[in-house]
Amino acid sequence: MTMSDEDLAVIRRRPAYQSALWLGRLAVVPQLVPFAVVALADDISLADAVFSYAWLSLVMLAGAFLLLWRAGVPFERQGWSVGTAADPKLNEVLRADLLFRRR
């Protein structure tokens, strides 16, 4: 299944796609917060801080996948997990958009 450039442009213009990209970018932040928490508080271990914020990243990433699905991105199933987008060209566009590289 190959997608045309017009199909990609339609998906990329949808607000759900843009929101998913921002959720994916911001999902890194809860992984950085524990280091600040440990630096400021003496009685909290790094493991406790990391595990207490890890759920937030997982929720954000699940929301990003849901928004991508709502934007029309077709995913392949691979067993219990959701695989990559069905089209290699779409994977490349997603990666470029996530990392702020414009084509």
Could you report the per-residue pLDDT of 10-63, keeping only the tens digit for each? Answer: 999 999 999 999 999 999 888 888 877 777 877 777 777 777 788 888 899 999
As a whole number of angstroms, the distance between CA 33 and CA 22 comes to: 18
What is the value of pTM for the model shown? 0.79
Angle at 16 between CA 89 and CA 30, to 5 degrees: 95
pLDDT at 15: 96
As a whole number of angstroms, the distance between CA 88 and CA 14 comes to: 20
Sorted by sequence, the CB contacts under 8 Å of residue 88 that are 6+ apart come out as: none
pLDDT at 1: 59
Residue type, 15: P
* Backbone phi and psi for residue 21, each to the nearest 5 degrees, phi listed first: -65, -45
